[in-house]
Structure 1
Amino acid sequence: MHAEPLHPQPLRPHTATAPSVAPTQVGAAAAVGAVREQAIPQVRIDYQAAGTLKRHVSEQLLAEGKRNPSLVGAVREQRARALINEAVSVWADSAGQGVRPVSAAQERAMAAVVFDMLFRAGRLQRYLDDDRVENILINGHDQCFLDFGDERLVRVEPVADSEEELRELVRDLARTSGQGERTFSTGHPLLALRLADGSRLEAMCEVTGERTYVTIRRHRIKDADLDEMAALGTVTPAVKQFLSACVRAERNVMIVGEQNSGKTSLLRALLKEIPPGERFGTLETEFELWAHRNGFHQQVVPMEARESNGERVDGRAAGEITLLDLMRRALRMSLTRIVVGEVRGPEITALMQALTNGRGGNLCTMHASAPHVVFDRIAELYLLAQGNFSSELAYRQIANGLHLIVFLSIDHTGPRKRRYVSHVWEITGVGEGGRPAYNEIFGPDAEWAPAQAVPRTPPSPGMLKRLEAAGFDAQVLHLPGAWRPGVHV
C-alpha cells in the first residue's frame, strides 16, 4: 500500500442522520507509527447505550411476537421502529439531565444505529452502505480499515468495543444470513458467509491468537454487461466482441486471475450474453452471480453449497453439501450450460467431465497468479481430488474440453487499481509432453499502460467458423486501433 495523502472525501453515512466517520490514512508511514488522522464533524454515538437499547427493544419484540404471531417481516420492522423511537426518547430525556442535552441529530443517529443492530449489520452497516468501499478489513475489535480500490487503506471507527462483541456481531450476521445453521465459536472458529447485499465475509477466531479477524469483500460492479465492462476498461472493444461471440457460440470458457482481479464481475457480464430463455445452472459456495435475480434470465437453476452443522455421520460432515455434490446433481437437471462461480477443489474433476461430455457453453472462474500456471493449477486440483485422477488425465481433459482461458490482470501503478483482460488463449489440443497446446489470440501490449490484450494470432479455423456463425466479425482483429482501451473510472 502507498503512503499517500489522506482519502479525499470523508465516508458518507448510510442515512442522513447516521453518524459520520473519521477516516485515518494508513500506508507505509503507518508501519512506523506515523499514522495521520483527519478530523471531520461527526455525531458521537454512545454504543454502550445503543447496545442496551437494542436488548431492551429486542425483549419487547420477543414478548409481543409471542402474543401476536403475525408480527413478522416488514410488520415486525415497522413495530421495531416505533419501539426504538420510544426507547431513544426516554434515553435522551435521561441523558440530557447533564450540562449538554442530547440533540435531535443525536437522537436520530442513535435510533438508526439501534435499528441496524437489530435488523442489519450493526455498527458495520455504515461501511457496507458506502458504495465506494471495495473491502472491509477488521483486525480485532479496535482496528477497522477500508479499501477504496486506490492502493490505500483508510482506518475508521471500530465496529465493536471488545473481541466478544465483535464475535457476537459475526454470529448475528450468521443467524440472519438465511444460509442454514452456521456457527462461530471456539468449536467452529472459521466462518464463510454471504451478507444480505451479496458481500462475502470470512471470519477467524481462536486460530488467530487473541484477536478476531474479519474480511469482507464487496461487489461494487454487480449488474454490468460487456458494454459497461468495456467502458470501465476491463475489456477492449475487440475482446468484448470476441467474448460475446464465444458465449453465443457455446464455447467453454474459464476466467482466471489473482484474487480481487474482477473475475466474478466479468463472469456476470458474460452471463448476459446467454439468451434470456435458455435454461442453465449456477453453482456457488455463496451466491455472487445472482443470475436468478438479475431480471434478465428466466430459466436459471441457482445452487449454493452448504456447510456442515458440525456433526459427522458415517465419516462425513452432516448436512454438508459441496460443489462436487451439486455438480453431480446439475448434470441431471436438463441444463444447457453449467456455470461455476469459483472452482477451487475436487469439483474440478466433475466440471472437466461435463466440459468433455456436454454441448458446450459452460463458464467458470479459478484463481491463478499467471496464465502459464493455469494448466498446472488444474492438475493440482485433480491430485487433491485423489481417486484415480492424475496430471496426465487433467491435461487430456483440458485439451479435449476447455476451449478458452481468459486471464485478468491488475495494474497498481495509477491512483486506482485497474483490472483488465490481458490474455485470451484458445486451447488447441494436446501439445508437447502431453500438455495442452494453446493459441494466444489476445496478449498484452507493453506499449500501453495498463498492458491490455490486443490481437496476436487469429483463432483456429474451426473456432473462427463457430464464432462467425454466432455473429462475430473477424475484421475487428485486423483493424488498426479497433482494440484501443476504454476510459478508466
Structure 2
Amino acid sequence: MDYRTAQEIKQKVLQRLHDEGKGRDPMEPAAKEQRGRHLINEQVAIWADREGLSTGGAVSQAVEQELASLAFDMCFRAGRLQRYLDMESVEDIWIEGHERVFLKYAGKLQPVQVARVADSEAELQELVRDLIRASGQNGRTFSTHSPDVELRLPDGSRLQALGPEITGGRTHVTIRRHRYLDIDLGKLVKLGTVPEEAGDLLAAAVRGRLNIMVAGEQASGKTTLLRALIKEIPREQRFGTIETTFEGLADPAWHEHVVPMETRFSNGERIGPNSAAAGEITLMDLMLRAKRMSLTRTIVGEVRGPEVTAMMQAMTSDRPGNMCTIHASEPAAVFDRIAELYLLAQSNFTPELAYRQIANGLHLVAFLSVDDSTEVPRRYLSHIWEITGVGHDGRPMYNEIFGPGDGFDGPAVPKGALSERKRRRLERAGMTASLLSPQAMAYANGGPM
C-alpha cells in the first residue's frame, strides 16, 4: 500500500474541507464524512490516471479501493492503526516508537509484533493528534509542551500517549480495548468471572442500595464488573457517572436518566500564582457538582486521588447506592490504599479518619484477581467483604462472604454469612434464600467446610 500517496490525499482533502467550511455553519459529522469520501474518490481517480500514464498500465479497481479506504481512515478514523482497531480479538495495542507495534490478543499472554502504523516519530505524533480530533475531544493536546494525553476513541477504546519528552526518545501509545461493553452479571456468570451465588448477592446489593467498591489488580476487569453492576440499577432511576475519560459505564439506551460527567484537562494557563489551572475540571469538582443534580446515586469510574474523600463523604452523607472502582494489589491493601489517598488529599487528614469513613459508609468490597500463570490468563472475582464496623485497632472490620476456595488464591466460593441486617435488606431486594450453601453457613459458625 502506498502510504505516502494516502497521506498526500489526506492533506489535500482536509485542506479542501477546511476551505469549504469557511464562513459556514459546521457540517454534521456524517455529512462531513460523506463530502470527504467524495473528495477522496476524486483524488484517487486523479492519482490512478497519473499512475497509469507513467507506468503504461491501468491501475486496478482493487488498488484504487484500498487507497481510498486508507485515505478515509487517515482523514476520519485512525489511519493505519484502524485495521487493528477493527480486529475484535485484539485486547491491547502497544506502540513503542514508530517502528514497534504489538497486539495483545484476548486470552493470550504474549503480544505479537505487527506492521508499523507510522514511518517516523513525527508521523506517529501526528497520528495521536488526528485521534484527538477524530474523538471530538479538541480540548486535549499532544505536543512538546503537553507530551501526555489520555482520551477515549470513538469505538470506546482508551488511549494513553506519552511523548519522547517523558520517555527519553520514543513516543509510546497504549490502547486498551473494552471487549465487553454490553455486559451484565448474567453474562459474567456464564464467562466464569463471577460465581452464580456471588452474582445473585451483588445484583441484590445494587437494587438494595448498598455502597459498593470494586477493587482489584490492573486489567482485572474492574470497569467491566462496574458496568455490569450498573445494569442492575432500575431503568427509571436518575444517577450520575463521573470519569476521567468516558468509558461507557452506563448505556443511555438502557437507563432513562443518566448524567455522564467527564473531567477536563487544563489549557496550560493559570489565572494566578496559587490558583488552579485554567479550564481544568477535576474529579473532585465533578463530585461537588453532582450534589446539585438531584441524583439518586453517584458512580465514579476510578478513584485515584483526592476525590476519594468526596466519594467516601457521599457514601456516608448522601443516599446510599453509590459505587466506584479502585486499584489495589490484594484485598488486604484496599483499606490502606484509601487511607493513602486521604493523606494525599490534605495534610491534616489521617488514616484514622479514612478508616472511620470506610466503616461508616462502605458496605461491600468486591475484589477481582488475574491468574496469568497459564497460557490463557483468567480474570475472576476472588473476594466479597461485608464491612461491619471499626475494630479495637481502629481499622475497619469485615465479614468475608466470598473468598478463594483454598484460602489463598483462586475464584471465590461462599465463605461466611452476611450480618442479619444486611441479609434481610438484600432478601427484600430479591436475593435468593439459598445464596449461601449449608457448608458455608457451617463454616461461618466454626464448623468444617
Q: Which amino acid aligns with 1:159?
A: V
Number of the residue aligned with 1:262: 221
Higher mean Cα deviation, 66-75 or 244-253? 66-75
Contact 1:180/1:306 (<8 A) preserved: no
Find runs of 4+ consecutive structure 1 residues off by over 6 angstroms.
none
Q: Distance in 1 between matches of 2:214 and 2:315?
A: 15
Cα displacement (A) at 1:316: 1.2
User: C-alpha separation between the residues in 1 aligned to 2:422 and 2:90?
Assistant: 40
Given that 2:216 and 2:222 are in contact with CA atoms closer than 8 Å, whether structure 1 keeps it comes out as: yes
Letter in 2 for 1:109: E
Matched, 1:319 2:279: yes
Amino acid in the other structure paired with 2:310: A
- In the other structure, the counterpart of 1:242 is 201
2:178 corresponds in structure 1 to 219
Note the C-alpha offset of 1:248.
0.8
Cα displacement (A) at 1:282 = 0.6
Report the counterpart of residue 55 of structure 1 in structure 2: 11
Letter in 2 for 1:451: G
For residues 100 and 290 of structure 1, the distance between their equivalents in structure 2, rounded to whole angstroms, comes to 53
1:124 deviates by 1.1
Do structure 1's residue 440 and structure 2's residue 400 form an aligned pair?
yes
RMSD: 1.9
Describe the superposition over 1:329-350 as per-residue Cα deviations: whole angstroms up to 9, x where unpaired. Answer: 1122221111000000000001
Decide whether the 8 Å contact of 1:338 with 1:362 is kept in 2.
yes
Amino acid at match of 1:90: I
Distance 2:392 2:371 in 1: 33
Matched, 1:207 2:163: no
State the alpha-carbon separation in 2 of the partners of residues 155 and 102 from structure 1: 31
Counterpart-to-counterpart distance in 2, 1:120 and 1:310: 27
State the identity as a percent.
Answer: 58
Shift of 1:177: 2.3
Code of the residue aligned with 1:395 in structure 2: it is: Y
Which piece of structure 1 moves more, 67-76 or 460-469?
Answer: 67-76
Deviation at 1:214, TM superposition (A): 0.5
Shift of 1:471: 1.4
Q: 1:369 to 1:164 in 2, by over 3 A?
A: same
**Are the aligned partners of 2:230 and 2:249 in contact in 1 as well (CA < 8 Å)?**
no
Pick closer, same or farther for the CA change 1:230–1:112 going to 2, 3 Å: same
2:100 matched to 1:140? no
Q: Which residue of 2 aligns with 1:393?
A: 353
- Counterpart Cα distance in 2 of 1:173 and 1:372: 39
Separation in 2, partners of 1:268, 1:406: 14
Residue 155 of structure 1: how far off its partner (Å): 0.8
The CA distance in 1 between the partners of 2:100 and 2:27, in whole Å, is 38
For residues 24-66 of structure 1, the C-alpha deviation after alignment (integer angstroms, 9 at most, x for no partner) is xxxxxxxxxxxxxxxxxxxxx1111110111122222223333
State how far apart, in whole Å, the 1-side matches of 2:204 and 2:219 are: 26
Q: Is 1:178 the equivalent of 2:136?
A: yes
Q: Give the structure 2 partner of residue 431 of structure 1.
A: 391
Pairing partner for 1:309 from 253, 267, 276: 267
Closer, same or farther: CA 86–455 of 1 in aligned 2, 3 Å: same
Q: How does 1:100-139 map to 2 (within 5 A)?
A: 102-139=59-96
Distance 1:310 1:91, change over 3 A: same
Listed as ranges, the gaps of 5+ residues in structure 1 are 1-44, 482-489
> Shift of the alpha carbon at 1:181?
1.4
Gaps of 5+ in 2: 441-449
Distance 2:299 2:47 in 1: 52
Correspondence for 1:333:
293
Q: Secondary structure at the match of 1:207?
A: helix
Q: Indicate conservation of the 8 Å contact 1:292/1:298, yes or no.
A: no
AA matched with 2:177: R
Contact 1:382 1:389 in 2 (8 A): yes
Do structure 1's residue 86 and structure 2's residue 42 form an aligned pair? yes
CA contact 2:384–2:400 (8 Å) conserved in 1 = yes
What is the deviation of 1:476?
2.5
SS of the residue 2:255 aligns to? coil
Displacement, 1:413?
3.4
The whole-number CA distance in structure 1 between the counterparts of 2:33 and 2:264 is 28
TM-score, length-scaled by structure 1: 0.86
TM-score (norm 2): 0.93
Write out per-residue CA displacement over residues 72-115 of structure 1, whole angstroms, 9 at most, x where no aligned residue: 43222112112111211221232343377533222111111100
Change (3 A) 1:479 1:83: farther
Look up the SS of the partner of 2:22 in the other structure.
helix
Distance in 2 (CA, whole Å) between partners of 1:422 and 1:184 is 39
Q: 1:258-303 CA deviation, whole Å, 9 max, x = no partner?
A: 111111011111001100001111110011134152x110111111
Alignment of 1:250-289 (within 5 A): 250-289=209-248
Call closer, same or farther: CA 1:69–1:248 in 2, change over 3 Å: closer
SS of alignment partner, residue 11 of structure 2: helix
Against the structure 1 CA distance between its residues 99 and 366, is the aligned structure 2 distance closer, same or farther, given a 3 Å change threshold? Answer: farther
Cα distance, 1:236–1:99 mapped onto 2, change above 3 Å: farther
What is the match of residue 444 of structure 2?
A: none
Structure 1: distance between partners of 2:316 and 2:25: 53
Task: State the alpha-carbon separation in 1 of the partners of residues 23 and 356 from structure 2.
Answer: 65
- Give distance in 2, aligned partners of 1:100 and 1:241: 67
Aligned length: 435
Q: In 1, are the aligned partners of 2:226 and 2:249 still within 8 Å (CA)?
A: no
Q: Which moved more, 1:98-107 or 1:193-202?
A: 98-107
Match of 1:23 in 2: none
Give the Cα separation in 2 of the matches to 1:443 and 1:335.
Answer: 33
Instruction: Please give the residue correspondences for 1:142-157 in structure 2 after superposition, counting only pairs within 5 Å.
Output: 142-149=99-106, 150-157=108-115
